[in-house]
Amino acid sequence: MEKNGNNRKLRVCVATCNRADYSKLAPIMFGIKTEPEFFELDVVVLGSHLIDDYGNTYRMIEQDDFDINTRLHTIVRGEDEAAMVESVGLALVKLPDVLNRLKPDIMIVHGDRFDALALATSAALMNIRILHIEGGEVSGTIDDSIRHAITKLAHYHVCCTRSAEQHLISMCEDHDRILLAGCPSYDKLLSAKNKDYMSIIRMWLGDDVKCKDYIVALQHPVTTDIKHSIKMFELTLDALISFNKRTLVLFPNIDAGSKEMVRVMRKKGIEHHPNFRAVKHVPFEQFIQLVAHAGCMIGNSSCGVREVGAFGTPVINLGTRQIGRETGENVLHVRDADTQDKILQALHLQFGKQYPCSKIYGDGNAVPRILKFLKSIDLQEPLQKKFCFPPVKENISQDIDHILETLSALAVDLGGTNLRVAIVSMKGEIVKKYTQFNPKTYEERINLILQMCVEAAAEAVKLNCRILGVGISTGGRVNPQEGIVLHSTKLIQEWNSVDLRTPLSDTLHLPVWVDNDGNCAAMAERKFGQGKGLENFVTLITGTGIGGGIIHQHELIHGSSFCAAELGHLVVSLDGPDCSCGSHGCIEAYASGMALQREAKKLHDEDLLLVEGMSVPKDEAVGALHLIQAAKLGNAKAQSILRTGEPVAPGSHATGSVLRYQGSGREPSVSLREPVFCILFRGTFPIF
């Protein structure tokens, strides 16, 4: 005892609530009892141990020759959600007197039951150190939340698997107070199989039953979906009846919904069916023998995915109650079923098989490790537990004026040629921008968007910008309510029925808005540009394609099919050139950047593009800018091409994709050839 600085025995209180947790706690209790020079043991019994309907399982504690210091009746009957809450409240009322009387140095609490949460809460508030067994594991139902809540209250942790240990560390628990010991029940399991088992099988299932020719069924309600779990239980019983093998059915635990499950058993006559034996409780050592030599175990008990693996017995795990547990190859999962057929097929697949024994949850030496860990606890150390939070980047300014200045958004502009991402301030100023070519395939494109956004978000932290959300401007027809690109022209390939919102929101944990680039342009003009203060206006954008946006009575108009302002796809000539939308003679087919590039290439191939004072380097592709330059230098054919299709809108006329404003006297808020993030606008036209 000199090692830990304690000059007296360590007074340990072990509190057990039900038959399941006692199977894990009993090996520790036996170990403590064998070392009286180091420990004093107090045993508190509460919960379903003391209820006749659940087998009065406190008797097995007495049969194991443990003195029960305190019996607490804490269960409020009703077997529904309210009864569980009331039971926790009743335990919280009764426990303080017990703990004041016993004054333990440390309380050992197991698992994830609601009774255990009451124990941990009481001990923590009364400044009693808590050792939590089996923390860090993952399963389904409310048990996960309760288990992790107990973890945060506990001072010391004994976990069973390497993954559970890593989960505890991820939850900011002190690594020095975590012991990877394995499951205490495995200390019994791995030495149990050679005992006389046939007498136990005959006692519970009948004299005519052979080894590996029966089933053990143990199914509990799922507290977060009681109705569905009862339906699954009903289908399980139907499948077992059809399978026609002798079956030992254990009654469910006391969770909300158990009463309805018992009603299902009685409705189907399970207690009187010749193939079934229905029991409230089997002593753990006998239960070990029964599952070790069963042809199969079925249900949703943690025992099936944990302890039974030590024997290689086939297991059928039903539903979601153990969905996150680590399992061996002996476990076959049936997550959901509408009829008994899927469960019946699983029985045919699993029954009678023998799998390799699994030691995922222990090697049979957990108790010696736990006792050594208990002896190392220094009662002179401060009681207040410390959390090991990951390091936080320092020197980030928290001045309120600075924060307000750098509230920002990520802007994503996905056009026919380029993919751009920018950090944009609330004032509409571009803090930093990133540009890449838009990939040709969906997979490459979505991966690049995610990569660029993640990099921009990381850079925003360094720039002291708080990203509030993500806005995506994309070509194509967009449903902004769902964040889905419904359809795109050939300018953006593989861009139909694409959910943009979900992957970005899941990756960045930020709200995401998606809309057509023309609509984004109109919104940008209304907020920052020439549309500011105007009630009604139209915005026209030109780039690789042509689009637009309509603001009517200060609101953006999408249209019933989300293409109200597809101005580039207004047909101006039925005999015109092919358009990327599949039609002919659209404005975009004449005046877009891609259309002008097409015409420029034709002239260049015919040696009709270049004029005096003009050249095109060999490594440079011919494009719309060369056509415009040739027109300015007097090339008549280039000028003729640029005049095709005018006028484009009231009060203006187009020279290719260059707009010259007339009538309103206003100039565009940005250069006609300057790329703009999320807002590819080139001009705004008031509606007269």
Predicted local confidence at residue 177, as pLDDT? 95
Q: How confident is the model at residue 5 (pLDDT cuts 50, 70, 90)?
A: low
Q: How confident is the model at residue 650 (pLDDT cuts 50, 70, 90)?
A: very low
Above 90 in pLDDT, residue 426? Answer: no
CATH code, residues 10-183+366-376:
3.40.50.2000
Q: Which of 195-199, 225-229, 615-619 has the highest mean pLDDT?
A: 225-229
Above 90 in pLDDT, residue 205? Answer: yes
pLDDT (tens digit per residue) in 469-504? 999 999 888 999 999 999 887 778 888 899 999 999
Beta 68-72 vs 106-110: how paired, if at all? unpaired
Above pLDDT 70, what percent of the chain?
Answer: 90
Give Cα separations from 216 to 310, 329, 522, 546, 660 (angstroms).
16, 18, 67, 69, 83
Above 80 in pLDDT, residue 341? Answer: yes
Residue 645 Rama label (left phi>0; alpha psi -120 to 50; beta): left
Above 90 in pLDDT, residue 274? Answer: yes
User: How much is the average pLDDT of 387-397?
Assistant: 69
User: How much is the average pLDDT of 180-207?
Assistant: 87
Is 569 annotated to bind a ligand? Reply is yes
Residue ranges with strand state E in 74-165: 106-110, 129-133, 156-159
Above 80 in pLDDT, residue 194? Answer: no
Predicted local confidence at residue 7, as pLDDT? 72
At 360, list the tokens.
Answer: 């995922």
Q: How confident is the model at residue 464 (pLDDT cuts 50, 70, 90)?
A: confident
Above 70 in pLDDT, residue 681? Answer: no
Q: What is the DSSP letter of 586?
A: B
Beta 296-299 vs 214-218: how paired, if at all? parallel
Say how far apart CA 456 and CA 439 lie, in whole Å: 19
pLDDT (tens digit per residue) in 299-311? 999 899 888 998 9
Is 208 annotated to bind a ligand? Reply is no
Predicted local confidence at residue 462, as pLDDT? 86
Predicted local confidence at residue 149, as pLDDT? 96
Q: Which region among 246-260, 447-461, 615-629 has the lowest average model confidence (pLDDT)?
A: 615-629
Q: How confident is the model at residue 512 (pLDDT cuts 50, 70, 90)?
A: very high
Is 441 annotated to bind a ligand? Reply is no
At 503, list the tokens.
Answer: 């992957």
Above 70 in pLDDT, residue 686? Answer: no
The whole-chain average pLDDT of the chain stands at 86
At 315, list the tokens.
Answer: 């297991």
Say how far apart CA 33 and CA 43 lie, in whole Å: 11
At 263, list the tokens.
Answer: 């009603």
Is 588 annotated to bind a ligand? Reply is yes
Fold type of domain 537-645+674-683 = Nucleotidyltransferase; domain 5 (3.30.420)
Of the candidates 601, 600, 597, 492, the one whose C-alpha atom is nearest the C-alpha of residue 547 is 492
Say how far apart CA 23 and CA 19 lie, in whole Å: 7
For 280-343, give the DSSP string: S---HHHHHHHHHT-SEEEES-HHHHTGGGGTT--EEEESSTTTT----TTEEEE---SSSHHH
pLDDT (tens digit per residue) in 26-76? 999 999 999 999 999 999 999 999 998 888 899 999 999 999 999 999 999
Predicted local confidence at residue 587, as pLDDT? 86
Q: How confident is the model at residue 687 (pLDDT cuts 50, 70, 90)?
A: very low
Predicted local confidence at residue 657, as pLDDT? 29
Give Cα separations from 515 to 16, 263, 447, 512 (angstroms).
58, 54, 19, 10
Half-sphere exposure of 180 toward its Cβ, with a 13 Å CA cutoff? 13
Beta bridge partners of 513: 471
User: How much is the average pLDDT of 3-18?
Assistant: 83
Give Cα separations from 535 to 520, 553, 686 (angstroms).
17, 5, 9
Say how far apart CA 146 and CA 91 lie, in whole Å: 15
Q: Which region among 136-140, 151-155, 278-282, 342-346 has the lowest average model confidence (pLDDT)?
A: 136-140
> Contact 411/471 with Cβ under 8 angstroms?
yes
- Helix ranges (DSSP H) in 154-218: 162-170, 186-189, 198-205
Residue ranges with strand state E in 183-285: 214-218, 246-250, 276-279
Above 50 in pLDDT, residue 192? Answer: yes
At 397, list the tokens.
Answer: 């300014």
Beta bridge partners of 467: 408
pLDDT (tens digit per residue) in 247-265? 999 999 888 889 999 999 9
Above 60 in pLDDT, residue 676? Answer: no
Beta 331-334 vs 315-318: how paired, if at all? parallel
User: How much is the average pLDDT of 629-649?
Assistant: 75
- The domain segmentation of the chain, as residue ranges, is 10-183+366-376, 193-350, 400-510, 537-645+674-683
Is 566 annotated to bind a ligand? Reply is yes
Predicted local confidence at residue 567, as pLDDT? 83
Report, in this order, helix, strand and coil percent for the chain, each rounded to 5.
35, 20, 45
Q: How confident is the model at residue 322 (pLDDT cuts 50, 70, 90)?
A: confident
Fold type of domain 193-350 = Rossmann fold (3.40.50)
pLDDT (tens digit per residue) in 90-123? 999 999 999 999 999 999 999 998 999 999 999 9
Choices 3.90.420.10, 3.30.420.40, 3.30.360.10, 3.40.710.10: CATH for 400-510: 3.30.420.40
Predicted local confidence at residue 401, as pLDDT? 55
pLDDT (tens digit per residue) in 560-585? 888 888 888 888 888 888 888 888 88
Predicted local confidence at residue 658, as pLDDT? 28
Say whether pTM exceeds 0.75. Answer: no
pLDDT (tens digit per residue) in 364-375? 899 999 999 999
Above 70 in pLDDT, residue 670? Answer: no
Contacts 24+ apart (CB under 8 A), 54-58: 54/18, 54/19, 54/251, 54/253, 54/254, 54/280, 54/281, 55/19, 55/280, 55/281, 57/18, 57/19, 57/22, 57/281
Is 520 annotated to bind a ligand? Reply is no
Q: How confident is the model at residue 638 (pLDDT cuts 50, 70, 90)?
A: confident
Q: Say which residue, 87 or 141, is predicted with more confidence.
A: 87
Residue 79 CB partners (closer than 8 Å, separation 6+): 254, 255, 256, 257, 258, 259, 260
Above pLDDT 90, what percent of the chain?
Answer: 54
Residue 410 CB partners (closer than 8 Å, separation 6+): 421, 422, 423, 424, 453, 456, 457, 460, 467, 469, 470, 471, 508, 510
Equal CATH topology for 10-183+366-376 and 537-645+674-683? no
Above 90 in pLDDT, residue 682? Answer: no
Predicted local confidence at residue 392, as pLDDT? 65
Is 489 annotated to bind a ligand? Reply is yes
At 61, list the tokens.
Answer: 């504690």
Position 361: which residue type?
Y
Would you please indicate which residues are annotated as catalytic (active-site) residues? 517
Above 80 in pLDDT, residue 297? Answer: yes
User: How much is the average pLDDT of 650-668?
Assistant: 32
Predicted local confidence at residue 323, as pLDDT? 82
